Amino acid sequence: MAMTMDDYQRAALRTAAPRDKHNELFHLLLGLVGETGEIAEKAKKIVRDKGSDFSQWDTEDVKKELGDTLWYVAVIADYFDLALEDVAKHNIAKLADRQKRGVIGGSGDER
């Protein structure tokens, strides 16, 4: 059975701390940065130690780290009363619009 983004978000929230816990948003943001930093650190080691051959990256490890990152994104979205599915749809629509206008490779949020 397929899992929707909203199914995932609901499941992730079962393991999240209450929103009203002291400094919870700050904790979540630091967790997100930490998890993405772990991915970057592992990528750095492939560049340094394996000649940038990303085919040597353990895909199970990538899956685990991306899952940890997704958990934080899902819980942060809920903190702001955003459905993860809506966040995903908005992002895809934004990228499609940029591609249609030929500005997908530029820089800046408002292109």
Would residue 31 count as lying in a domain? Answer: yes
- Asked, for residue 35, whether it belongs to a domain, the answer is yes
User: Does residue 109 fall inside a structural domain?
Assistant: no
CA distance 12 to 62: 19
Q: What integer best gives the mean pLDDT of the chain?
A: 93
Residue type, 42: K
User: Which residues touch 22 (CB under 8 Å, ≥6 apart)?
Assistant: none
Q: pTM value?
A: 0.89
- Tell whether 67 is covered by a domain: yes
Asked whether the CA dihedral 11, 17, 18, 19 is positive or negative, the reply is negative
Domain with residue 20: its CATH number is 1.10.287
d(CA 4, CA 58): 26
Distance from chain centroid for Cα 98: 20
- pLDDT tens for residues 52-87? 999 999 999 999 999 999 999 999 999 999 999 999
* pLDDT (mean) for 6-28: 97
Q: Is residue 97 part of a domain?
A: yes
Encoding tokens for residue 12? 């992730």
Any domain includes 107: no
pLDDT value for 92:
94
Instruction: Give the domain extent around 25.
Output: 8-101
User: Which residues lie below 8 Å from residue 35, measured CB to CB, with a gap of 6+?
Assistant: 65, 68, 69, 72
Residue 20 lies in a domain: yes
Q: How many domains does the chain have?
A: 1
108 within a domain of the structure (yes/no): no
